[in-house]
Amino acid sequence: MPMNVVVPVKPVVDPKAVVRFKPDGTIDRSAVKLVANPYDKHAVEAAVQLKERFGGRVVSISMAPPHAADAIREVLAMGVDEAVLLSDPRLAGSDTLATSYALSAAVRKLEQKLGRVDLVLCGIESSDSNTGHIGPEIGEWLGTPSVSYVDRILEVGDGYVMVKRLIEGGYVVMRVRLPAVLSIAGTSYQPRIPSLRDVLAARRKQIVVWSVDDVGIDPSLVGLAGSPTRVVKMWKVEIKRRGKIISDADVDRAIDRLLEELRRDGVPLGV
């Protein structure tokens, strides 16, 4: 049976970019290149493999400013059929609860368009905030089963999916009712490297842009107004190193001095 799969993809700051901060302490995303969240690419790969096996469509949804288009085209090149960009100034400042609400509303709109959504596949977390909230929260908003740390989708049957879920010290196999939300771990689904032809084809695909009004989102539940938490300040970690040079013609005496310095700095030296 063909499957319709939706994959939320977060455009994140390119790890190679120099990060700048706005006066309020938040990252100035307009001044840096955005790329597709690496963790989300594992979910994209899982979705594309399902499409190759069963047929159907894979649609990505992203909540980001307009200049995130290049990041979204990364997953179009991997085999995503359609990309939706949820972009509206009223979404700015949303925390994970508000973000998951907005994304779940977009999933419902896609459900009306596609007829049904069988699976929502999320990355396990984002590379910029690392909360791991979005997948489970989308499941709560949609009222569907949600499973985190999914290593592999083992079987898809009539109305269910069987997954291998990682746990501490091992794994469990779970049978889950469809539709469902799965957070894919970066263990079994290695993101494919698109060919040049795929990259060029992705450049020609249109990205659908939805606003808050297009999706039917309550503006009071998103952005700074609807977020129960907000970022107060962000800053770069400054690493300061202190170096000492011990020089002595007598090697034994140099070692003794080194050990003395380490003891003085509180470094445990064992017995």
Assess whether 126 and 249 both reside in one domain. no
Assess whether 151 and 204 both reside in one domain. yes
Assess whether 133 and 249 both reside in one domain. no
* Helix 69-78 / helix 38-54 crossing angle, nearest 10 deg: 40
Q: Is 236 part of any domain?
A: no
Assess whether 190 and 266 both reside in one domain. no
Instruction: Tell me the pLDDT band of 26, cut-offs 50, 70 and 90.
Output: low
Q: Is 231 part of any domain?
A: no
Structural domain containing residue 253:
241-271
- Is pLDDT of 24 > 70? no
Number of domains in the chain: 2
Q: Is 173 part of any domain?
A: yes
Mean pLDDT of the chain: 90
Assess whether 114 and 70 both reside in one domain. yes
Check residue 198 and give its pLDDT: 94
Task: Determine contact, residues 32/57, Cβ cutoff 8 Å.
Answer: no
Check residue 53 and give its pLDDT: 94
pLDDT single digits (tens) 117-170:
999 999 999 988 888 999 999 999 999 999 999 999 999 998 999 999 999 999
Check residue 76 and give its pLDDT: 97
Q: Is 234 part of any domain?
A: no
Assess whether 12 and 126 both reside in one domain. yes
Q: What are phi and psi of 32, to 5 degrees?
A: -130, 160
Q: Is 141 part of any domain?
A: yes
Assess whether 105 and 212 both reside in one domain. yes
- Is pLDDT of 271 > 60? no
> Mind giving me the DSSP string for 236-263?
PPPP---------SSHHHHHHHHHHHHH
Assess whether 253 and 196 both reside in one domain. no
- Looking up tokens 């020089």 gives 247
Instruction: Tell me the pLDDT band of 25, cut-offs 50, 70 and 90.
Output: low
Assess whether 107 and 184 both reside in one domain. yes
Assess whether 87 and 187 both reside in one domain. yes
- Is pLDDT of 220 > 60? yes
Assess whether 178 and 102 both reside in one domain. yes
Q: Is 172 part of any domain?
A: yes
- Is pLDDT of 236 > 90? no
Task: Please state, in angstroms and as integers, the Cα–Cα distance from residue 120 to each residue in 11, 40, 96, 198, following that order.
Answer: 18, 12, 17, 24
